[in-house]
Homo-oligomer: A and B are copies of this chain.
Amino acid sequence: MTELIGSGVELMLVGMGIVFVFLAMLVVAIKTMASLVQRYFPEPPAAAVVVPVTTANKTDKATIAAISAAVHQYRSKN
């Protein structure tokens, strides 16, 4: 019984410790990453959304466009 409580207390200390260490390291990692990205891959905040989205899904967009064009063509032909 007391032993079990002891395990529980230990688990709490270790557990909260890990959680804090883990998330604190994540804070450091995010800050480092943010400064690296802003230095080496700067993106104009406004364009940031517009430009990459259009480049990234270009093929999907193109595919969809091509398919819908094909469908229209098919329908008009048949």
Residues of A within 8 A of B (CB): 43, 45-46, 48-50, 59-60, 62-64, 66-68, 70-71, 73-75, 77-78
A57 (CB) vs chain B CBs: closest residue: B59
User: How far does the alpha carbon of A6 sit from the alpha carbon of B60 in the complex, in Å?
Assistant: 46
Chain B residue with Cβ nearest A74: B74
Q: What B residues does A78 contact at CB under 8 A? A: 43, 45-46, 48-50, 74, 78
Chain B residue nearest in CB terms to A71: B70
Q: Could you tell me the distance in whole angstroms from the C-beta of A60 to the nearest C-beta in chain B?
A: 7
Q: What residues of B have a CB within 8 angstroms of the CB of A77 in the complex?
A: 45
Residues of chain B contacted by A64 (CB below 8 angstroms): 66
